[in-house]
A and B are shown apart, each in its own frame.
Chain A
Amino acid sequence: MSRVDVRKTYKLAIGGQFPRSESGRTYEVTDAGGKFLANASRASRKDARDAVVAARKAFGGWAGKTPYNRGQVLYRVAEVLEGRRAQFAEEVMRSEGGTRRQAEAVVDASVDRLVWYAGWADKVAQVVGGTNPVAAPYFDFSVPEPTGVVAVLAPQDSSLLGLVSVVAPVVVTGNTCVVATSQLRPLPAITFSEVLATSDVPGGVVNVLTGPLADTAPTLASHMDVNAIDLTGAGTDEDATAWETAAADNLKRVRRPAAEDWLAEPGLDRMTWLLETKTVWHPIGI
């Protein structure tokens, strides 16, 4: 007797849980050739709201961890991802098309990207912070601090490497985030949220929403408790402009979409734009 398929239910990831959309809606996800793959949850604006609440709740604890500890956690994510290499290669291949070998290269690059950012956790402060020379009897130094809750619109094309490349730099410095995944290729992102949940990343640090951006992005952009928004995955220029405008009310930091090469070495930029500099003047001597 042949065994019945165990089909996976693709859900959202909010606050360490995997809920269905509050709206109860789903949408069909197809592979690169247009063949049905799965039904994914179609996140609503209320799911976006819940995700922001979860991210805000997680922020204090995550930002309060030592950078060294955050680096260890990120490295652990890389380890767990490496352990599920075959599953991710399969999902990437089905989502993005191409050969198995290409998909495996993407998974390898994603693992390497996580390791790369994990290494930066306790070094970024030394690069962008430090002591400042002042002409007064003060010891003056600057330290970078995380910006807060960040909404991330993940790239539409690169479903795993692109996702990892936009999420890792946000969380490594102590921010928490709400990620709206690729609309057409959300499956690797949901599986990646399972990796996060099993690798010591506290619930709520990365919240994953799937579905059309039009349902969630306007809410995230205008939400007063979101401190920054990365519009990398915004489909059109008009959308990006509309969401940038909506983000202006509480002076969110906004990152406009730009041409990206996900395989190239990323540089520090994606970390540093989400750091606030705190400068302290400490009196010395008498």
Chain B
Amino acid sequence: MRPIVPGGGLRTYAGSVTATLTPDPTELSEATSSDSALRRFLHGLPGVDQVGAEARAAMLGTRSIKTTSKELALELAIRMVDLTTLEGQDTPGKVRALCSKAMRPDPTDPSCPPTAAVCVYPDMVGVAKEALGGSGVHVASVATAFPSGRAALDIKLADTRDAVEAGADEIDMVIDRGAFLAGRYLQVYEEIVAVREACAREDGHGAHLKVIFETGELQTFDNIRRISWLAMMAGAHFIKTSTGKVQPAATMPGTLVMLEAVRDFREATGRMVGVKPAGGIRSAKEAIKYLVMVNEVAGTDWLDPDWFRFGASTLLNDLLMQRMKMRTGRYSGPDYVTMD
């Protein structure tokens, strides 16, 4: 087997934090042939310049988005929200309330678009599915022993199948961080592949797979880049920052590294992968900063609910209040949105 030398496709992009790698498809398929090949490939990815990534993310956060652009950004951000409730205290009633909110976020304004999806635990998928009906709002379900991912593979797969059978349109799986940090990359890879197979349905409309990295536990940006490539090579439809149960959750620089990865992966393979930052994004202002970053790092193709999502619960209220401010000219308050 010929060794994979990163650098064959070394390029720099305007606005890229680091030189990026675009291996050819054969390199990618060979990389997953064995644990050592995968390790060689992932460790051969160029390192992330941490200071550069943070500075670039901070700089992108200073863009001024006003008036009509702001209106468009707010609408788009609402359509990108995966309205989430992942609590031990979730009841069918609460999930139904959340579903009505997802379909009509602002009951006083019929022109307000629905959110992309609601995100719940597997046992609530049926309830959510029934409440959402044919509204077009997707049901996303976390699976694979969320949030820690500490269970045997067959239990994780059963968890996934359970959610898929109940009608989930999207599965948010967690990776085995322990295996990843211990360097057992192939195990992580094979687990993602297996879960992806469990997402399939006989009618061909399988559930989309989002892979949660829990970047707050991965320690370094290099690891975020490695796991991004690993998950995309394993067939993830979306890569997602965090569970929301660990601090820090989504950060701008971490998401920046993931956006660079999906951009480079499309360059290398032609396949497009979505990105979902989740947890910690609470204000409309932050959401707009993320959209600016998506636009400038990954490109306009990703400015679509099919390719970029926000995993959030409180964010939606702030988006709605900002939207009301844009429409009425007066500041709104928490009395005018629903409490979740």
Query: B-contacting residues of A (Cβ < 8 Å)?
Result: 49, 52, 56, 219, 222-226, 246, 249-250
Closest 5 CB pairs of A and B: A225-B333, A222-B330, A223-B331, A224-B333, A224-B332
Residues of chain A with a CB closer than 8 A to B329's CB: 222
Residues of chain A with a CB closer than 8 A to B109's CB: none
Tell me the smallest distance from the CB of A238 to a CB of chain B, in Å: 20
Residues of chain B with a CB closer than 8 A to A222's CB: 329-331
- Once the chains bind, are B330 and A223 in contact (CB under 8 Å)? yes
Tell me the smallest distance from the CB of A273 to a CB of chain B, in Å: 21
Query: A-contacting residues of B (Cβ < 8 Å)?
Result: 329-336
In the bound assembly, the distance between CA atoms of A250 and B335 in angstroms comes to 10
- Once the chains bind, are B334 and A56 in contact (CB under 8 Å)? yes
Residues of chain A with a CB closer than 8 A to B333's CB: 52, 56, 223-226
Residues of chain B with a CB closer than 8 A to A246's CB: 330
Tell me the smallest distance from the CB of B285 to a CB of chain A, in Å: 11
In the bound assembly, the distance between CA atoms of A223 and B329 in angstroms comes to 9
Residues of chain B with a CB closer than 8 A to A250's CB: 335
Residues of chain A with a CB closer than 8 A to B334's CB: 56, 225
Residue of A with least CB distance to B324: A224
In the bound assembly, the distance between CA atoms of A227 and B334 in angstroms comes to 12
In the bound assembly, the distance between CA atoms of A239 and B331 in angstroms comes to 20
- Once the chains bind, are B331 and A49 in contact (CB under 8 Å)? yes
Tell me the smallest distance from the CB of A47 to a CB of chain B, in Å: 12
Question: Can you list 22 A-B pairs, Cβ within 8 angstroms, ordered by A?
Answer: A49-B331, A52-B331, A56-B333, A56-B334, A219-B330, A219-B331, A222-B329, A222-B330, A223-B330, A223-B331, A223-B333, A224-B330, A224-B331, A224-B332, A224-B335, A224-B336, A225-B332, A225-B333, A225-B335, A246-B330, A249-B330, A250-B335
In the bound assembly, the distance between CA atoms of A246 and B331 in angstroms comes to 12
Tell me the smallest distance from the CB of A220 to a CB of chain B, in Å: 9
In the bound assembly, the distance between CA atoms of A244 and B94 in angstroms comes to 39
In the bound assembly, the distance between CA atoms of A25 and B84 in angstroms comes to 41
Tell me the smallest distance from the CB of A52 to a CB of chain B, in Å: 7
In the bound assembly, the distance between CA atoms of A96 and B87 in angstroms comes to 58
Residue of A with least CB distance to B332: A224
In the bound assembly, the distance between CA atoms of A224 and B332 in angstroms comes to 5
In the bound assembly, the distance between CA atoms of A257 and B333 in angstroms comes to 26
Residue of A with least CB distance to B333: A225
Tell me the smallest distance from the CB of B314 to a CB of chain A, in Å: 14
Residues of chain B with a CB closer than 8 A to A56's CB: 333-334
In the bound assembly, the distance between CA atoms of A219 and B329 in angstroms comes to 9
Residues of chain A with a CB closer than 8 A to B330's CB: 219, 222-224, 246, 249
**Which of A225, A246, A250 lies at the interface centre, i.e. has the most chain B CB atoms within 10 A of its CB?**
A225
Residues of chain B with a CB closer than 8 A to A219's CB: 330-331
In the bound assembly, the distance between CA atoms of A219 and B335 in angstroms comes to 17
Tell me the smallest distance from the CB of B275 to a CB of chain A, in Å: 30
In the bound assembly, the distance between CA atoms of A249 and B329 in angstroms comes to 12
Residues of chain B with a CB closer than 8 A to A223's CB: 330-331, 333
Tell me the smallest distance from the CB of A245 to a CB of chain B, in Å: 12
Residue of B with least CB distance to A52: B331
In the bound assembly, the distance between CA atoms of A129 and B232 in angstroms comes to 66
In the bound assembly, the distance between CA atoms of A176 and B335 in angstroms comes to 17
In the bound assembly, the distance between CA atoms of A226 and B332 in angstroms comes to 9
Residues of chain A with a CB closer than 8 A to B332's CB: 224-225
Residue of A with least CB distance to B331: A223
Residues of chain B with a CB closer than 8 A to A49's CB: 331
Residues of chain B with a CB closer than 8 A to A249's CB: 330
In the bound assembly, the distance between CA atoms of A225 and B336 in angstroms comes to 9
Besides A219-B331, A225-B332, 13 more A-B contacts (Cβ < 8 Å) are A52-B333, A222-B329, A222-B331, A223-B330, A224-B332, A224-B336, A225-B331, A225-B333, A225-B334, A225-B335, A226-B333, A246-B330, A250-B335
